Amino acid sequence: MIGRVLLQILGVFVLLIGMGILTMRIDNMNADGPSILFPGGALVSGTLYQGDEPDWAFTDEVQTIELQLESPLSSRRSFVMESDGRVYVPSGYMRSFLGRLWKDWAFQADAGDGLAVARINGVRYERQLIRVHDNEIIAGVANKLAQKYTGGNTPEAVSQIVQSVADGDTWIFEMAPRGASS
């Protein structure tokens, strides 16, 4: 009898937590950007960048950016790195079950037009996400990714990232100017 009551209490507790998480996710869908845990809506606040292509080296000091796809409209946080004057975002865990659920934006960007908006330090940049397959570019991005996010760009760390991209576990997207060809 006591065991059954405890199971019912546990079931109600799990249900309440699940409903709370679902409510927060739905509530954040129309927010101006993502929360720490949940995707958000359109990036509307911040100055829209106008002008020549910026010097993306400033992103070396930025840990994460807000990245919004235009179709379907959704935003999330992402790592960012500059390499050879261009700016890139990675998406990991692409072959895992969790990655397929959590990283749906990467599949959508790769299959669609890739139109996106990135908000970095309060400034919005209209971009086009183009998946990178060029090994030379991937090596440069892997070097920057290892240096910035793993604590050092050792040959082993860079090689591991390059292998992860080759295996399809990590995808790299250039945040190119809109209208760039793939």
pLDDT at res. 40: 87
CA atoms of 16 and 114, how far apart (whole Å) = 37
* pLDDT given at position 85: 96
Q: What is the CA radius of gyration of the chain?
A: 19
Q: pLDDT (tens digit, 9 = 90+) per residue, 87-127?
A: 999 999 999 988 777 788 999 999 999 999 999 999 999 99
- In angstroms, rounded to a whole number, what is the distance separating the alpha carbons of residues 3 and 44? 52
94 three-state secondary structure: coil
| Identity of the residue numbered 153 | N
pLDDT given for residue 137 in this prediction = 97
Q: Which residues of the chain have pLDDT under 50?
A: none
Instruction: Give the pLDDT of residue 29.
Output: 66
First CA to last CA distance, the chain: 65
